[in-house]
């Protein structure tokens, strides 16, 4: 399925589910999974349908977020989130090529963590070992919603 087809389905999900547009960011929508583009909404729903989304939920906000406690309880080099997005301002803006990217979130050795990405033709293991590290705070929090103390542990 192409990025355009996934985006179209994401727009249909937005309409069917009545998801509200974010008033501060152009083509983004507010969800309990964070601020997402139509493409991102498609990807999240796909992961949920495949049973591949976060295992824990914040008790107070009912929003799935990464916490410092979760990081501390993970083993080193644990992959705790991954997905696909587009290389654009609506996804991960690496080169603005419009091509699909894969990203993977990995816990480091000292309760730190990072998100790595590469083109979608690369394997998850390749991306984990050699992918480009995401540096943009907006992109990081869009891909892996996290509490402030967990974000402070992000390895820039």
Task: Tell me the three state secondary structure of residue 94.
Answer: coil
pTM above 0.75, yes or no: no
Residue 106 has pLDDT above 90, yes or no: yes
Residue 148: per-residue pLDDT: 94
Under the banding of pLDDT at 50, 70 and 90, the label for residue 33 is low
**To 10 degrees, what angle do helices 38-49 and 3-17 make?**
80
Provide the residue ranges of all domains of the chain, joining segments of one domain with +: 3-49, 68-151
Under the banding of pLDDT at 50, 70 and 90, the label for residue 62 is very low
Question: With pLDDT > 90 as the criterion, what percentage of the chain qualifies?
Answer: 33
Cα–Cα distances in angstroms (integers) from residue 21 to residues 54, 62, 90, in the given order:
24, 20, 13
Of 24 and 69, which is predicted with more confidence?
A: 69
Contact present, 87 and 75 (Cβ < 8 Å): no
Under the banding of pLDDT at 50, 70 and 90, the label for residue 50 is low
The chain-wide mean pLDDT, for the chain, equals 83
């Amino acid at each position: 399925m192409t990025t355009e087809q996934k985006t179209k389905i994401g727009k249909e999900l937005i309409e069917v589910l009545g998801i509200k547009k974010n008033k501060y960011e152009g083509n983004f929508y507010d969800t309990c999974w964070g601020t997402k583009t139509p493409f991102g909404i498609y990807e999240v729903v796909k992961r949920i349908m495949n049973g591949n989304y976060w295992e824990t939920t914040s008790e107070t906000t009912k929003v799935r977020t990464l916490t410092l406690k979760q990081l501390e309880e993970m083993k080193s080099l644990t992959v705790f989130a991954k997905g696909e997005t587009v290389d654009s301002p609506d996804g991960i803006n690496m080169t603005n090529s419009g091509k699909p990217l894969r990203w993977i979130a990995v816990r480091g050795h000292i309760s730190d963590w990072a998100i790595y990405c590469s083109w979608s033709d690369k394997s998850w293991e390749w991306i984990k070992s050699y992918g480009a590290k995401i540096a943009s705070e907006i992109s990081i929090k869009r891909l892996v919603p996290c509490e402030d103390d967990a974000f402070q542990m992000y390895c820039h």
